Chain A
């Protein structure tokens, strides 16, 4: 028998997947593919990345050579014009003819352009192919305004692209809301707020009546409500239509609203013709995403094998990042199903909107909408796809984290059948298999399973699963600090400590490679400081420091610096307040009370820093290390001295703690708080170290955090006397310094510490590792070698050498400009700078 002849029409994403799947199957077939576009299949999903500088060739999914290698006969740049079902052949526009035994239509779809008068003139464009992109780019060149017609998923993505091209971007939508297909009203409104805040102008409920010549721009859009909008280009993104003309001409059955009708086997009304991807319609539904298209291609291939599978529909959940706005939609996102119960969380301060739809019995997730915060997407999707039973209070899944919150589904909680990557149909089981087969990194698993190489939406979840599985096998997850050291921060700490290495050069010579980078240099500088506590500006340490440490001040957005003197415990003398005011006035600095109970002076030029600090030091101030990964502040409440409820002197205790640990450099910054009674006015339980007075001593709390992911501190020990408490804190801090990752606060450190709080208590209180006295000794060394870095620096000309704006001139940086607001300075905006320069010239 002669080989089966399979002809594929269309070489888009799905057509390619069909060809590749068939070529790699055991079906003995001659495969021929005919693509209308001039280039072989490419990744349409990531089209817009070309606007961000990606080369179109990087999007390629295949090449002519690759097809040759697979024995596939490929033709590009010629459209199939006709199917002759009688004699089983297709004819192209170029006149080529191909015989088939089985024909596969993978012609995809084209952008729908509403028949508005004037839609067919120059600079009215579409957004679907690489060629379209080139046209959009060319049209935008040197122009100001761009309009996207259509406020759906693709329209918004396109508006983002126009914005990146430097155009003033508008979205014109016929319906009253954005992304009406996926979002309910609340979500759609929130999305609109966010998108407008980003500078894209949104016009909804706008019907365009005609497009004419513009007065100030190329085109004018005239709307039904008699308003107008001028623009230099229009991109239509008002929906897609399946390419089904070929099928219509051949009398194949098509859907009511277009699309080639298929059954569960992806067969059309002719049993020798299949249709897959966006040109196909199953039960009146077109699946406009790649993942379902790939499943169709696989089902269609399987019909030629003994092991037949069906395509019975697919999950249409999507997550996307539009213009920097997170949007997610899962299953029945609007809650339209019978008996669906909805939970809605809306936060207009943070611009977050979430809707969770659950079944009438409250047991299963039916769908969800997320706008502004997609952190819960992975967890909700897993509940949905795997029909996992919901907890008692489903709303906790979308509410901001608090004590009662249900934790995210961990990788271990997922069943083996859980779908991790829907684009490539990869389950947790497939990943486990890949790891058992020898994969040891996320990259390996990606290469081997293709997971996370489609839309990319599953990348975070994939990493979780891989890390968990590697961990469970006792395999090392790659935790090298960077390309220069094949070590973790903890390893480096141990190496430096045990070999007494004192410089970065020696360390990288003996234990690393290359010349270092902005990751390993500051990390090593921090380790050297924790252990040997030399001045930050020693000449061999200077090149390692972040700019903040180099200039012992925090760099601001315009390149100036801020100055934060230490105010231990927040207690300050009236005369010191006066000096702060005087210094601020003399150097025209912006003054603000910080959240850490001290004063920050902003807008200092680098060359003024030494003089400013001389004045402050003369008044008894010391550096506040606001620039360092080190102890910041010890916040206090007023305590028993004044407060009618106070039971201990919290201010005195805070001052003592701050003076003891000031200057200690740590993996990340460190904050403490001391409250005089359980009312907790110092918020000590949100600090890395928190101390709360009791009738008989102090309760010690550890590993609290404010910031991005707040965490309440854990109660570590109760009713301590002061010396015992200091001993515990010494040990605790040094143990953290030794074992944490770079930039890991105590809160995340504890959460990752095997054995958790109990283990920590065992090490610190019971000295289970036998290192307590060593930790104390190390801390004592740091305490004994404390120096105010600024005081040392202003007395050492060599260290001040760098505090010059220019090595060859006394001029100042002209790009630094301030304007006045509420009686103080603030950095000028770009627009304000332009105006000032203009004035200076004229």
Chain B
């Protein structure tokens, strides 16, 4: 694992998601980046692939909370995925998560 600079905070959309391409172990992975300026952690990263809708779309979902869980709703069939654990709330499915941080204006990702 190493820290990558992915982009700057300017590339992000507050309270919403964008997607970045990150090289992990020689393979490219699509990472959905969510910028929630009102939370302590600020930046959350999960894989962009929706295992239920079977398409790279999670960065384009609506973010919010269900109970205590910060989630994104898949834009395809609206299942919720936890931004912290990647677990799907409705079905037995999960997506990979990545530790992400905001350092100055830079978005750093461990992958």
- A residues adjacent to B (C-beta < 8 A): 52-53, 483-484, 514-518, 520-522, 539, 542-548, 550-551, 555, 557-559, 801-802, 804-809, 811, 813-816, 830
Q: What sequence of 0s and 1s flags, for each residue 39-74 of chain B, a beta carbon within 8 Å of any chain A beta carbon?
A: 000000000010001111100111111110011010
B85 at the interface (CB under 8 A from A): no
Specify which chain A residues have a CB less than 8 angstroms from the CB of B19 in the assembled complex. Answer: 805-807
Cβ of A813 to closest chain B Cβ, rounded Å: 5
Report the Cα distance A358→B18, complex, angstroms. 61
Specify which chain A residues have a CB less than 8 angstroms from the CB of B70 in the assembled complex. Answer: 515
Cβ-defined contact, A555 with B20, below 8 A: no
Cβ-defined contact, A521 with B62, below 8 A: yes
- Which residues, 68 to 101 on B, are CB-close (under 8 Å) to A? 70-71, 73, 75-76, 78, 80, 91-92
Cβ-defined contact, B62 with A546, below 8 A: yes
10 contacts between A and B (CB under 8 A): A483-B66, A514-B65, A515-B36, A517-B73, A518-B61, A518-B80, A543-B16, A547-B75, A555-B60, A559-B55
Cβ of A297 to closest chain B Cβ, rounded Å: 34
User: Interface SS of chain B: helix, strand, loop or mixed?
Assistant: strand
Cβ-defined contact, B7 with A808, below 8 A: yes
Nearest to B93 among chain A residues (CB) is A53
Cβ-defined contact, A521 with B64, below 8 A: yes
Cβ of B35 to closest chain A Cβ, rounded Å: 10
Cβ-defined contact, A808 with B6, below 8 A: yes
Cβ-defined contact, A547 with B60, below 8 A: yes
Cβ of B94 to closest chain A Cβ, rounded Å: 11
Nearest to A547 among chain B residues (CB) is B75
Cβ-defined contact, B92 with A807, below 8 A: no
Specify which chain A residues have a CB less than 8 angstroms from the CB of B20 in the assembled complex. Answer: 806-809
Specify which chain A residues have a CB less than 8 angstroms from the CB of B63 in the assembled complex. Answer: 515, 543
Cβ of B82 to closest chain A Cβ, rounded Å: 13
Cβ-defined contact, A543 with B14, below 8 A: yes
Specify which chain A residues have a CB less than 8 angstroms from the CB of B38 in the assembled complex. Answer: 515
With contact pairs A557-B76, A813-B30 given, residues A543 and B15 touching in the complex (Cβ less than 8 Å): yes
Cβ of B77 to closest chain A Cβ, rounded Å: 10
Cβ of A84 to closest chain B Cβ, rounded Å: 49
Report the Cα distance A809→B12, complex, angstroms. 14
Report the Cα distance A517→B30, complex, angstroms. 24
B13 at the interface (CB under 8 A from A): yes
Nearest to A517 among chain B residues (CB) is B64
Cβ of A203 to closest chain B Cβ, rounded Å: 30
Specify which chain A residues have a CB less than 8 angstroms from the CB of B24 in the assembled complex. Answer: none
Nearest to B19 among chain A residues (CB) is A806
Cβ-defined contact, A555 with B73, below 8 A: no
Cβ-defined contact, A555 with B57, below 8 A: yes
Cross-chain contact of B13 among A543, A559, A830 (Cβ < 8 A) = A543
B33 at the interface (CB under 8 A from A): yes
Specify which chain A residues have a CB less than 8 angstroms from the CB of B67 in the assembled complex. Answer: 483
The 5 closest A-B pairs by CB, nearest first: A518-B73, A53-B92, A517-B64, A547-B75, A543-B15
With contact pairs A547-B61, A807-B7, A807-B11 given, residues A815 and B49 touching in the complex (Cβ less than 8 Å): yes
Report the Cα distance A483→B11, complex, angstroms. 31
Cβ of A506 to closest chain B Cβ, rounded Å: 14
Specify which chain B residues have a CB less than 8 angstroms from the CB of A548 in the assembled complex. Answer: 75
Contacts A557-B76, A802-B18 aside, 18 further interface pairs with beta carbons under 8 A come to A517-B64, A517-B66, A518-B62, A520-B64, A542-B13, A542-B16, A543-B63, A550-B16, A550-B60, A559-B60, A559-B76, A804-B18, A806-B30, A807-B12, A807-B18, A808-B21, A813-B56, A816-B56
Cβ-defined contact, B64 with A514, below 8 A: yes
Cβ of B19 to closest chain A Cβ, rounded Å: 6
Cβ-defined contact, B60 with A551, below 8 A: yes
Cβ of A628 to closest chain B Cβ, rounded Å: 15
Cross-chain contact of A557 among B21, B53, B64 (Cβ < 8 A) = B53
Specify which chain A residues have a CB less than 8 angstroms from the CB of B91 in the assembled complex. Answer: 53
Report the Cα distance A814→B19, complex, angstroms. 14
Residue among B12, B60, B62 having the largest count of chain A Cβ atoms under 10 Å:
B62
Cβ of B91 to closest chain A Cβ, rounded Å: 8
Cβ of B31 to closest chain A Cβ, rounded Å: 9
Nearest to A558 among chain B residues (CB) is B55
Cβ of A405 to closest chain B Cβ, rounded Å: 32
Report the Cα distance A806→B66, complex, angstroms. 28
Report the Cα distance A813→B32, complex, angstroms. 13
With contact pairs A547-B75, A808-B21 given, residues A830 and B54 touching in the complex (Cβ less than 8 Å): yes
Specify which chain B residues have a CB less than 8 angstroms from the CB of A811 in the assembled complex. Answer: 21, 28
Cβ of B78 to closest chain A Cβ, rounded Å: 6
With contact pairs A517-B73, A807-B33 given, residues A544 and B62 touching in the complex (Cβ less than 8 Å): yes
Nearest to B73 among chain A residues (CB) is A518
Cβ-defined contact, B56 with A559, below 8 A: yes
Specify which chain B residues have a CB less than 8 angstroms from the CB of A522 in the assembled complex. Answer: 62
Cβ of A486 to closest chain B Cβ, rounded Å: 15
Report the Cα distance A518→B81, complex, angstroms. 12
Report the Cα distance A521→B66, complex, angstroms. 13
Specify which chain A residues have a CB less than 8 angstroms from the CB of B64 in the assembled complex. Answer: 484, 514-518, 520-521
Report the Cα distance A518→B73, complex, angstroms. 6
Specify which chain B residues have a CB less than 8 angstroms from the CB of A542 in the assembled complex. Answer: 13, 16
Specify which chain A residues have a CB less than 8 angstroms from the CB of B62 in the assembled complex. Answer: 517-518, 521-522, 543-546
Cβ-defined contact, B21 with A547, below 8 A: no
Specify which chain A residues have a CB less than 8 angstroms from the CB of B60 in the assembled complex. Answer: 547, 550-551, 555, 559
Report the Cα distance A308→B23, complex, angstroms. 75
Cross-chain contact of A546 among B28, B53, B75 (Cβ < 8 A) = B75
Report the Cα distance A522→B92, complex, angstroms. 26
Cβ-defined contact, A516 with B75, below 8 A: no
Cβ-defined contact, B6 with A807, below 8 A: yes
Report the Cα distance A801→B60, complex, angstroms. 14
Specify which chain A residues have a CB less than 8 angstroms from the CB of B66 in the assembled complex. Answer: 483, 517
Cβ of B70 to closest chain A Cβ, rounded Å: 8
Nearest to B92 among chain A residues (CB) is A53
Specify which chain B residues have a CB less than 8 angstroms from the CB of A484 in the assembled complex. Answer: 64-65
Cβ-defined contact, A515 with B65, below 8 A: yes
Specify which chain B residues have a CB less than 8 angstroms from the CB of A546 in the assembled complex. Answer: 62, 75
Report the Cα distance A190→B58, complex, angstroms. 38
Specify which chain A residues have a CB less than 8 angstroms from the CB of B49 in the assembled complex. Answer: 815
Report the Cα distance A809→B70, complex, angstroms. 28
Cross-chain contact of B78 among A483, A518, A558 (Cβ < 8 A) = A518
Report the Cα distance A801→B91, complex, angstroms. 33
Report the Cα distance A483→B67, complex, angstroms. 8
With contact pairs A807-B6, A808-B11, A813-B56 given, residues A516 and B16 touching in the complex (Cβ less than 8 Å): no
Specify which chain B residues have a CB less than 8 angstroms from the CB of A830 in the assembled complex. Answer: 54
Cβ-defined contact, A802 with B75, below 8 A: no
Report the Cα distance A52→B15, complex, angstroms. 33
Specify which chain A residues have a CB less than 8 angstroms from the CB of B92 in the assembled complex. Answer: 52-53
Specify which chain B residues have a CB less than 8 angstroms from the CB of A551 in the assembled complex. Answer: 60
Cross-chain contact of B57 among A520, A547, A809 (Cβ < 8 A) = A547
Cβ-defined contact, B55 with A557, below 8 A: yes
Specify which chain B residues have a CB less than 8 angstroms from the CB of A807 in the assembled complex. Answer: 6-7, 11-12, 18-20, 33
Cβ-defined contact, A809 with B61, below 8 A: no
Cβ of A66 to closest chain B Cβ, rounded Å: 27
Cβ-defined contact, B65 with A517, below 8 A: yes
Nearest to A560 among chain B residues (CB) is B55
Report the Cα distance A770→B61, complex, angstroms. 41
Report the Cα distance A809→B31, complex, angstroms. 12
Residue among A520, A522, A813 having the largest count of chain B Cβ atoms under 10 Å:
A813
Report the Cα distance A522→B63, complex, angstroms. 11
